Amino acid sequence: MNQAEGLKRLVGNAGEKGVPNTAGKLSRVICITSGKGGVGKSNLAVNLSLVLSQQGLRVVLFDGDLGMANVDVLMGLYPPYNLTDFLYEKKTLREIMALGPCGLRVIPGGSGIAQLANATPSQQDRFMNGLLELEGEVDLVLIDTSAGLGYNVLRFVSAAHELIVVTTPEPTAITDAYSIIKVVSNYKLHPRVGLVVNRVRSEEEALQVSHKIERVSQQYLDITVDYLGSVYEDVKVGEAVRKQAPFVISHPRSKAAESVRKLAAKLNGDFCSREETQGLSGFVKKIFKLLS
Ligand SMILES: Nc1ncnc2c1ncn2[C@@H]1O[C@H](COP(=O)(O)OP(=O)(O)OP(=O)(O)O)[C@@H](O)[C@H]1O
Ligand SMILES: [Mg+2]
């Protein structure tokens, strides 16, 4: 990548301020998580963000994974900066954002996600102000987290306005998804969670999995599970990962892409019609409240 192109990507459309966000609402923050690792969170986060961007929403994808920078790799982006550069005051939040396809903006977390946990008051202020500056120019922030309920994941899960739990039809993934939902219920983090079943071979299989989780949650937990939809098992997903080109763009007619478009339509209708959130200020306040 030459330097000019790199700069263009970095700046992206982040400089276009002041456009009121869709329907004049405050930004929504949705966190994507799972109990078991490797169930497809990052692929879902990337492809869902892209479809929602294609549909005209202004989306920021926050890579909140503690481990490797998955989201960048899946999109073939090589952002030179991440949250660490921001936290240590070398760069602004806008400067560390990378521009992906369809106007999607990406905040690469990198090791900054771990550093966020020990952020000093001045770093917290910078993060808060940086995010608040985005209010009014972003409709949706999607956060891709690591699997399991580590402290960092819990902070994103708790602070986000909505939560999507991803599972596959494997029994281990289902029981781990239930464990996450149980923690969310026990700590009263959210009254409801969305559920996506990935890697299904049929709609019946997806419904069986979702019914199982919905039923047990209803019976034993004080929480509502909303089944949002499924994504088909599709060899194109692996091919797209190897090509570092998200499948909704590289294989738009694949079954997986079709599933994600359906999911995006449902999310767009469901989530965006829900009650007003406290926007990004509510999100950042909660993130740091949990820290203390
Ligand atoms: N619908 C699908 N069909 C086929 N393969 C899939 C599908 N979804 C995910 N995969 C495969 O699973 C792998 C893991 O996906 P991904 O990295 O998105 O999972 P993850 O939940 O983010 O993992 P981690 O917990 O490590 O962050 C992908 O590289 C891909 O090969
Ligand atoms: Mg991941």
- Domain assignment present for residue 147? The answer is yes
- Domain assignment present for residue 36? The answer is yes
- Domain assignment present for residue 250? The answer is yes
* Closest ligand 1 atom number to CA of residue 39: 21
Nearest residue to 265 via CA among 101, 59, 50, 51: 51
The response to whether residue 42 sits with its C-beta less than 6 Å from ligand 1 reads: yes
Give per-residue pLDDT as tens, 54-95.
Answer: 999 999 999 988 776 689 999 999 999 998 899 887 899 999
What range does the domain containing 254 cover? 25-291
pTM: 0.89
What is the domain count for the chain?
1
CA distance 80 to 108: 9
The CATH number covering residue 250 comes to: 3.40.50.300
- Domain assignment present for residue 99? The answer is yes
- Domain assignment present for residue 247? The answer is yes
- Domain assignment present for residue 209? The answer is yes
- Domain assignment present for residue 33? The answer is yes
The per-residue pLDDT for 118 is 79
- Domain assignment present for residue 74? The answer is yes
The response to whether residue 199 sits with its C-beta less than 6 Å from ligand 1 reads: yes
The response to whether residue 238 sits with its C-beta less than 6 Å from ligand 1 reads: yes
The per-residue pLDDT for 11 is 32
